[in-house]
Copies of this chain bind each other. A is one copy, B any other.
Amino acid sequence: VSFTVTVLGSSSALPTSERNFSAHVLNVDERFFLIDCGEATQIQLRRFKIKFGRINHIFITHLHGDHILGLPGLVSSYGLLGRKNDLHIYAFAELENMMNDFSKFLGANLPFSIIFHHLDPHSTQLIYQNSKMEVYSFPLMHSSPTCGFLFKEKEKERNIKKEVVDKHQLSVKDILDIKAGADLINNAGKTIPNKDLTISPHKPRSYAYCSDTLYHEAVVPVIKNVDLLYHEATFSESNSKYAQETMHATAKQAAQIALKAKAKKLIIGHFSARQKNVSVLLNEARQLFPETYLANDGVVFNVDQVRGT
């Protein structure tokens, strides 16, 4: 079962010839979640061959142009392609007004519904869940109200070993009890401990997206032990005054957050056009947090399934 992040763009507010505006798409078991949607995100989705008809949920961190200007065009393309499924957009309330202002330029009526979910900029909220996963928004600290997002698989029940069901001729009730952790008393009256009947399920996987933000330690408990952490790293240490002025983070600060959160892997992006050589940022982050990688356009990060013990 996939749990994969594709980087659609890695620039900050000014794109370059190599970097489009920051946006990611998360694929959980062939359901796609889009995070941020700057101009040309629909072009990047095509370029990187994402099945973007399968995106039903779009998460917008904040209402700066470089995170939203691709939405009207994407919505328009969905209309032209005859989309039927509801499209859910999670964003601050004002985005709904913007999209309404825009709808008059998008030609005929859309053949699908857009359902807006308004974010709370002040607290951590569960904003979406299905049978397998949950999504939380949490406050970041930027020049405009901003949320990060945490995508997390739900805890799974233990799996019964294949041979156990036949051997002991288990009833449905037995099976449910054992999956929930019960031991089994067999026909001979002997107790077989749960750990001999079951194997550990896959550990829930998780991915957190933190952009745009100053260094903000309040996120650490929310994203604790995350498998994959994306944290913006707009500037190098030598440009830290720009980071402070524009309310962005440095690569070192991103690494500090990853370290405190005990993240397994850190990816950094949202690079300023001032940073001609982003390997400087990578090196600065790796000094603190070796498992750091660059979120270059088109790069794919996979989180493997691992069984618990």
Q: Mark A55-67, 1 if CB is under 8 A from B, else 0.
A: 0000000011110
Q: Which of A10-65 contact B (CB under 8 A)?
A: 13-17, 20, 38-40, 42-43, 46-47, 63-65
Return A70 CB to nearest CB of chain B, in Å: 7
- B42→A15 contact, CB < 8 A: yes
- B43→A73 contact, CB < 8 A: no
- B40→A43 contact, CB < 8 A: yes
Q: Which of B13, B15, B81, B107 contacts A46 (CB 8 A)?
A: B15
Q: Which of B16, B65, B73 contacts A39 (CB 8 A)?
A: B73
Q: Which of A57-93 contact B (CB under 8 A)?
A: 63-66, 68-70, 72-73, 76-77, 80-81
Determine if A106 is an interface residue (Cβ-Cβ < 8 Å). Answer: yes
- B98→A105 contact, CB < 8 A: yes
Return A99 CB to nearest CB of chain B, in Å: 11
- A107→B65 contact, CB < 8 A: yes
- B39→A20 contact, CB < 8 A: no
- A77→B14 contact, CB < 8 A: yes
Determine if A166 is an interface residue (Cβ-Cβ < 8 Å). Answer: no
- B69→A72 contact, CB < 8 A: yes
- A70→B107 contact, CB < 8 A: no
Q: Collect the chain B residues with CB atoms within 8 Å of residue A70's CB.
A: 39
Q: Which of B20, B63, B65, B72 contacts A43 (CB 8 A)?
A: B20
Q: Collect the chain B residues with CB atoms within 8 Å of residue A20's CB.
A: 43
Return A105 CB to nearest CB of chain B, in Å: 5
Q: Which of B14, B40, B69, B101 contacts A98 (CB 8 A)?
A: B101
Report the bound CA distance from A102 to B71 in whole Å: 13
Report the bound CA distance from A65 to B105 in whole Å: 5
- A80→B13 contact, CB < 8 A: yes
Q: Collect the chain B residues with CB atoms within 8 Å of residue A13's CB.
A: 76-77, 80, 107
Return A39 CB to nearest CB of chain B, in Å: 4
Q: Collect the chain B residues with CB atoms within 8 Å of residue A46's CB.
A: 15-17
Report the bound CA distance from A81 to B273 in whole Å: 11
- A47→B17 contact, CB < 8 A: yes
24 contacts between A and B (CB under 8 A): A13-B77, A14-B77, A14-B81, A15-B42, A15-B46, A17-B46, A20-B43, A38-B73, A39-B40, A39-B42, A39-B69, A39-B70, A39-B72, A40-B40, A40-B43, A63-B105, A65-B76, A65-B105, A65-B107, A69-B73, A69-B76, A69-B105, A98-B101, A98-B105
Given contacts A39-B69, A65-B107, 7 further A-B contacts (CB under 8 A): A16-B46, A17-B47, A20-B43, A39-B43, A39-B70, A65-B72, A65-B76
